[in-house]
Amino acid sequence: MLKRRHIHAVLIVLLAFLGVPQAQQAAPAQPKSRRFLMWKAPSPSATVYLVGSIHVGDSSMYPLSKEVESAFAAAKVLAVEINIKNADEAKMIGLVQKYGVYTDDDVLAKHLSKETQAALDEYCTRHNVPRMGMEKLKPWLVAISIAQMAWQQAGEDPSLGIDMHFLNESKPPQRIDELETIESQFSIFAEATEEEQQSMLASILKQGDKMKDLITRMQTAYISGDPGSLEKIMQEQNDVGSKSLEKKFVDDRNVAMTGKMEEYLKGKDPAFVVVGAAHIIGDKGIAKQLRDKGYKVKQVTLEAK
């Protein structure tokens, strides 16, 4: 699980756990006009477009609407959580080993409840996964490994994610900003308590074979531009996990991201910001926080493709 070919997949799954809904199923029929998970926030000196991202996808999501591509083309700044294309694989391997792997004679079995241990054993047996191969991994890394396997089985492709699409399209003189660092994202997992990590793993195991249905529902809500439905689905996930870890994954980071949006709005360069959809929607999302600060933030309505 620590070989180089797994590293970008691990980063994608890290982003997923950090508030990004995943999706890959075929798109439903669209009405004459629809909404996309994109918001426009103008100021006297600049305009910021906020795009709710999914990090994996399929060809049915493209081409994106001309309004979205035009807003991107006009931006002088593309801001993403992490520029995956520039991820340092050697550094990521080191971070995984540092924060996700037990040392000496410590093993996973010493840190799991009997219930979670039994659920993990049952999952590995059902999916023909070598159980002993996980014994040196900490609960959070086991959780994202299981999620990674589930999403791969659903046929998802990180190269077709929304943020990767715009990273591939971006060309100088457009600047690419990273809102976070790989280290900061790993640190959230590294600092999670044993209770939080076990709750995270138990939640993933509980979802189990329902993961594909969850992906389908998220896809429908996402491409319909329906933030209310998407928020409801994500809340269902959060209800079976750790509230404190959810706060670290999403709410705390929203505050920092909102601060960065204010910097763009007070500047002169139009910015196109692509972050996990969960960071924008909801009562603690970036859009609401910007509105509370006096900015006019409106979801963009698009014509059908």
Domain map of the chain by residue range?
Answer: 4-303
If one counts every other C-beta atom within 10 angstroms of the C-beta of residue 43, the result is: 17
Interatomic CA distance for residues 198 and 112, integer angstroms: 7
- Residue 271 contacts residue 76 (beta carbons within 8 Å): yes
Alpha-helix residue ranges (DSSP H) falling in the chain: 7-17, 66-74, 89-100, 114-126, 139-153, 162-169, 182-190, 194-207, 211-223, 227-238, 243-246, 252-266, 286-292
Residue percentage of the chain with pLDDT more than 70: 77
- Residue 250 contacts residue 227 (beta carbons within 8 Å): no
pLDDT at 216 over 70: no
Structure tokens at 145: 């490994």
Mean pLDDT rounded to a whole number for the chain? 82
pLDDT at 140 over 50: yes
CA angle 159, 15, 30 (to 5 degrees): 60
- Give the model's confidence band at 4: pLDDT under 50 very low, under 70 low, under 90 confident, else very high: very low
Span 14-46, pLDDT tens digits: 554 454 343 333 334 444 445 678 999 999 999
**Mean pLDDT for the stretch of residues 132-152:** 87
CA distances from 13 to 19, 64, 90, 150, 200 (A): 10, 24, 18, 11, 13
**Mean pLDDT for the stretch of residues 273-285:** 90
State residue 21's pLDDT score: 41
State residue 236's pLDDT score: 64
- Bridge partners (DSSP) of residue 273 are 50, 79
- Residue 38 contacts residue 50 (beta carbons within 8 Å): yes
- The span from the first CA to the last CA of the chain, in angstroms, equals 40
Span 73-115, pLDDT tens digits: 999 999 999 998 888 878 888 888 889 999 999 999 999 999 9
Interatomic CA distance for residues 48 and 32, integer angstroms: 26
Which one has a higher pLDDT value, 226 or 293? 293
**Mean pLDDT for the stretch of residues 213-235:** 71
User: Which phi and psi angles does 165 have, rounded to 5°?
Assistant: -55, -50
